[in-house]
Amino acid sequence: MTKVKDATIPTIPVQARLSRWFGRNLIRIYAFFGFTYLFIPVAYTFAFSFNDSGKSNLIWKGFTLKNWQNPCGAPEICTALGNSIKIGLIATIFSTILGTMIAFAIGRYAFKGRSTSNLLIFLPMATPEIVLGASLLSLFLVFQINPGFWPTVIAHVVFCVSFVVVTVKARIASLDPRLEQAAMDLYANEFQTFRRVTLPLVAPGIAAAALLAFSLSFDDFIITNFNSGTLTTFPKFVYVSAARGIPAQANVIGSAMFFLALAIVIAGQLISKKTKVTK
């Protein structure tokens, strides 16, 4: 009888095992460092909203809840916040209505100058904000319009419209035309088809465009600084306060806006998921 030699299992070098592990988890590692890089400023803002800072908020001095209990404790901060919210809401309403109509016109109808109009829509997005802000200021001064609340609203509508058009147009392009054709076959007129079929399908895109427009308007500093004059918005307040240390109340408002936006996004995802399950 012949003896069978014991088969030995080859050992994989440690370097090869590490290389395989990194190969399988490289995307997770990139995602971890990417999200860490993005959320460090958010974490800093949230942490220093609890700082017992006094006049300066550059150095940690102790934990306190008084900033959250009285977010209007810093002088003029709530006035600036109110101005930003009012400008953002008005600019969002006008830019959403105008941008949605433009998106339907470009996305659904063929007309002379359509390609040119499509190109012009992207110009405010491609133009540097400092150029757009200075140009709008010059235009207002030519017509003897002093910088202030309404010139700022008009300026915000100008640069928000482009983002609304792009967002809504992408939603319109993804629609299945057979759904509208089916509604027409069931004797629905054009208005009924639009109200009961097209508009509900486009509504998520319009809502996303409105949220984007509001965030852009609320967050804007450069164009606002050119056209607001003596009007103080929240970004201008933060910029002026940065030299001596942004008040902890500004961190409170910033953190609250972040968590509010996060809650809206999560709610939208849950509603969308629930709608898909129902269908």
Its pTM stands at 0.83
> Coil, strand, or helix at residue 63?
strand
CA pair distance 128, 133, nearest whole angstrom: 9
Q: Please, which residues bridge with residue 63 across strands?
A: 51
CA pair distance 187, 182, nearest whole angstrom: 9
**Given this model, what pLDDT does residue 7 score?**
52
Written as tens digits, the pLDDT of the chain (279 aa) is 455 555 555 666 767 777 787 778 888 888 999 989 989 989 998 998 998 877 777 788 888 889 899 888 888 899 999 999 999 999 999 999 999 999 998 888 888 888 888 888 888 888 889 999 999 999 999 999 999 999 999 999 999 999 999 999 999 888 888 888 888 878 788 888 888 888 888 998 999 999 999 999 999 999 999 999 899 999 999 888 877 678 888 999 999 999 998 898 888 788 777 766 665
Asked if 145 and 228 count as a contact pair (C-beta separation under 8 A), the reply is no
Within the chain, where are the H helices?
A: 14-48, 66-69, 77-108, 114-121, 123-126, 129-142, 149-173, 177-185, 190-193, 199-219, 222-227, 234-241, 248-278
- Give domain 76-246's CATH superfamily: MetI-like (1.10.3720.10)
CB burial readout 57-91, b (16+ within 10 A) else e: beeeeeeeeebeeebeebeebbebbebbbebbebb
CA pair distance 16, 20, nearest whole angstrom: 6
Residue 198 DSSP label: I
Give the residue among 80, 64, 81, 84 at the shortest CA–CA distance from 248: 64
**Given this model, what pLDDT does residue 3 score?**
53
What are the residue boundaries of the structural domains of the chain, listed by start? 14-66, 76-246
